């Protein structure tokens, strides 16, 4: 099972790149973030011609997450549990794969949290606390799961091109990193780090100041695997090719493969 994650930064604007990625990469499940449209406005027909089903939790003009899959999803969860008053479209989860070898897969768009010290940062930390609680509930089910998406977290200084400049940024603040480590301390595994120990490999490059051209990026898109999923992972990597295209998203896909 090939699982990919990509913050497309507007699915309508990046639709040609999305179609090309689906054709070339052929993921079984693609987790999208920042689709920036309502679920009913998602370009379903275009991806359906490639054999993909779509489940989306959308929001007009910003946020929004989706699951694109070759097989129909089951047991779909719309929204991160724990706060019925949270109307941000940031979490969708479903089951995929044959009985006995199925996996729960979530597409996550974690809050950015900037500027630090504001209500936005408090919302980010609270959202991460809820994610940790939900991960604990998923672990009790003792089935493989993958929490995939844009976490807006650089886990360590190795994951940011300029740690000094980003020291007080919400993506690198101690409080946010501690909550990311709490996920790992529950037993979740950073899929990319299973196969890649080298520092300064990125999934995001800002549009400004030639960050892409100078490879000044951030690793903020992650695939966190439950222990059962980590036992099955056979490869994981970052696909930089979409970021180099005209009118590209500022993020690029990350993917892994699980043995069935």
Mean local confidence (pLDDT), 151-164: 98
Does residue 109 have an active-site annotation? Answer: yes
Does residue 215 have an active-site annotation? Answer: no
Rounded Cα distance between 194 and 14, Å, is: 30
- Percentage of the chain beyond pLDDT 70 is 100
Neighbouring C-beta atoms of residue 168, cutoff 10 Å: 12
Rg of the chain, C-alpha, whole Å: 17
Mean local confidence (pLDDT), 96-102: 86
Judge whether residue 12 has pLDDT over 90. Answer: yes
DSSP string, 61-76: SS--EEEEESS--EEE
Mean local confidence (pLDDT), 174-183: 98
pLDDT of residue 98: 84
Judge whether residue 100 has pLDDT over 90. Answer: no
Average pLDDT, the chain: 97
Strand ranges for 23-64 from DSSP E: 29-33, 53-57
Judge whether residue 56 has pLDDT over 90. Answer: yes
Mean local confidence (pLDDT), 228-236: 97
pLDDT of residue 166: 98
In this prediction the pTM is 0.97
pLDDT of residue 99: 81
Judge whether residue 101 has pLDDT over 90. Answer: no
Judge whether residue 260 has pLDDT over 90. Answer: no
Mean local confidence (pLDDT), 158-177: 98
Condensed to tens digits (0 to 9), the pLDDT of residues 107-153 reads 999 999 999 999 999 999 999 999 999 999 999 999 999 999 999 99
CB of 8 within 8 A of CB of 249?
A: yes
CB of 74 within 8 A of CB of 42?
A: no
Mean local confidence (pLDDT), 241-247: 97
Given 28, 91, 150, 202, which residue is catalytic?
Answer: 150
Rounded Cα distance between 96 and 131, Å, is: 20
- 93-102, 119-128, 157-166, 175-184: the lowest-pLDDT one: 93-102
Given 109, 151, 161, 192, which residue is catalytic?
Answer: 109
Beta strand 145-150 with 103-109 is parallel
- For the chain, the structural domain boundaries read 2-258
pLDDT of residue 10: 98
Condensed to tens digits (0 to 9), the pLDDT of residues 180-224 reads 999 999 999 999 999 999 999 999 999 999 999 999 999 999 999
Strand ranges for 39-119 from DSSP E: 53-57, 65-69, 74-78, 91-96, 103-109
Q: Which CATH class is domain 2-258?
A: alpha beta
- Percentage of the chain beyond pLDDT 90 is 97
pLDDT of residue 157: 98
């Amino acid at each position: 099972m090939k699982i990919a994650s990509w913050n497309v930064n507007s699915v309508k604007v990046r639709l040609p790149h999305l179609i090309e990625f689906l054709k070339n990469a052929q993921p079984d499940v693609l987790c999208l973030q920042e689709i920036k449209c309502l679920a009913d406005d998602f370009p379903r027909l275009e991806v359906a011609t490639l054999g993909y089903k779509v489940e989306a939790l959308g929001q007009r003009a910003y946020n929004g997450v989706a699951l694109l899959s070759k097989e129909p999803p089951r047991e779909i969860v719309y929204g991160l549990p724990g706060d019925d008053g949270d109307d941000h479209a940031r979490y969708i989860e479903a089951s995929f794969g044959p009985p006995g070898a199925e996996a729960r897969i979530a597409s996550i768009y974690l809050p950015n949290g900037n500027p630090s010290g504001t209500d936005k940062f408090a919302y980010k930390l609270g959202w991460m606390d809820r994610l940790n609680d939900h991960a604990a509930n998923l672990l009790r089910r003792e089935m493989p799961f993958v929490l995939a998406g844009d976490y807006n977290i650089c886990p360590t200084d190795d994951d940011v091109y300029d740690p000094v400049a980003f020291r007080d940024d919400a993506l690198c603040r101690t409080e946010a990193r501690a909550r990311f480590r709490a996920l790992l301390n529950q037993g979740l595994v950073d899929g990319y780090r299973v196969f890649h120990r080298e520092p300064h490999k990125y999934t995001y490059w800002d549009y400004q100041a030639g960050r892409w051209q100078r490879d000044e990026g951030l690793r903020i898109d992650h695939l966190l695997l439950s222990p059962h999923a980590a036992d099955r992972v056979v490869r994981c990597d970052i696909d930089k090719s979409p970021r180099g295209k005209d009118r590209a998203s500022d993020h690029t896909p990350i993917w892994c493969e699980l043995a069935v």
